[in-house]
Amino acid sequence: MLTYTTLQDRPREFLAATGLTHAEFVRLLPAFATAYALLYPSEKTAEGKPRQRRAGGGATGALPHMEDKLLFLLVFQKTHPLQTMHGFQFQLRQPQTNDWIHHLLPVLRHAFAALGVAPERDARRVATSALALEGAPDVAIDGTERRRQRPPDASQHQEQYSGKTKTPTDKHLLLVNAHTDKVVSLGPTVAGQKHDKQTAEEAQMPSPTNATLAKDTGLQGSEPAGVLTRQPKKNPKARS
């Protein structure tokens, strides 16, 4: 069974499983615990009803400690496995795994917001975001894809199919601060087949005024107003 106790002294495995170093995990944990107590008060049940007996009564849950709750969610977010396989690592059945994921996701969002590291979802606030202005107004934009289950409907499968990764995917555009490596903005979820440039034009994700914007060939031709774009060029010698 995967637990915080078994993983905390294995830094390489911890980073690979969660996407965070142990020190970053420890900094996130208090905010996560505070958000959990706020969203799910101990005097109420998970459904929000008043408890008939004090918290802690009855059988011990599968994720009894806050460290294990956070680990459970971060591993799922980092590796994105099937819920059946993810539950197997934590000795949970698939329905339990699904319940825990939806139970804990709002907690993580609140924790990130409390720490001031939650990416903007409203494109209108990106240009004045503290995350974007930290250091200097230099940002990078790129599309990222994550695998998803193949839709049963053939027409939906064609829309979700990504020729780049040869599998059905969902896509997001990310705007990242080039100095801090923090995600400034997370664009809306779109089908994996959609091109990065089209996604950027539809999302209308503005950058801070007079910023430099790094991009790759997937966004060639995209020239937002008020910024200086930079696109790496291939070495001519590498083509020969």
Q: How far apart are CA 192 and CA 161, in angstroms?
A: 6
Write down the pLDDT at residue 34: 97
- pLDDT tens digits, residue range 37-89? 999 888 777 677 777 766 655 555 679 899 999 999 999 999 888 899 999 99
- pLDDT tens digits, residue range 189-201? 888 778 877 777 7
Sequence-distant contacts of 61-67: CB under 8 A, at least 24 apart: 62/90, 62/91, 62/92, 62/96, 62/100, 63/90, 63/100, 65/4, 66/29, 66/32, 66/33, 66/36, 67/4, 67/29
Name the percent of the chain lying above pLDDT 90.
35
- pLDDT tens digits, residue range 143-173? 788 777 777 777 777 777 777 777 888 888 8
Write down the pLDDT at residue 239: 55
**pLDDT at residue 240 tops 60:** no
Q: How far apart are CA 139 and CA 208, in angstroms?
A: 9
- pLDDT tens digits, residue range 200-226? 777 777 677 777 878 787 777 777 777
Write down the pLDDT at residue 31: 97
